[in-house]
Structure 1
Amino acid sequence: MPAALALALLRGASARARLIAHRGSARPHTHPGPVVCYVTEGRILFQVKGHPARYYTAGQTIFEPASTPIERFDNDSSSAPATFIATYLLGDQDTELLHRLQ
C-alpha cells in the first residue's frame, strides 16, 4: 500500500473502548464508515440485517459494514458487562459515529 494512502486511511480512524452493561444493547443502528470491533470481555450477540445472529466472545473480531443496518449488538450476560474496542473508519465529512434506526 502506498504511504500516502495509508496515511489517508489513518487520518479517518478513531478507536474507542466501549462497554455494554449486562443485558444491554446498542439498539438498531448504522455507521457512516466501516467499524472493526475486538471483543475483550464477555459475549456479544451480533446481527447484520438479513443475516443470522452470531455470538462473539473475547479474542474475536466483529466487522460492521458502512451504512448497513445492525439489528443486534447485545450483551448476552444477565450479570456481567461485555467490553470491546471499536475502530471507526470515517471520512472527512463524517461527524457522527453512529446513526440510530427506528
Structure 2
Amino acid sequence: MQITVEFSGGLETAFDGNKKHVLDVPEGSSVNWLLHHMVETLMPDHKREEGKNIFLQDESVRPGVLVLINDSDWELEGEDQYILQPRDVIIFASTLHGG
C-alpha cells in the first residue's frame, strides 16, 4: 500500500534533501516500523549516523520533531503504534532551530 512521508524544518537534510517521499509499505506496518525503515532505506549511507541522531532518540522520534498523521498530532493517533493505512500522509517537522 502507498503512503506519503514529508519532512520539513531541516529534517529533509537527513534524507538527502528530499522533502516528499511516496512509499510502498506492507499492510499492517506501524509508524515505529516506518521510522526504522526510513532510516535504513531513505537516508544515504554517508549521512545515516548523523541523520539518525537528529531524527531519532531512544528508538523513537526525537523531542522537538512534530509528527502529524493526516494532519492530526500523532499523540492522538497512538504515536508510533499507529497502524498505517493506504494513502496516509505522515509529516515530520522539526521545531528546533539552531542559532
TM-score by length of 2: 0.34
Structure richer in helix, relative to its length: 2
TM-score by length of 1: 0.33
Q: Larger Cα Rg: Structure 1 or Structure 2?
A: 1
Structure richer in strand, relative to its length: 1
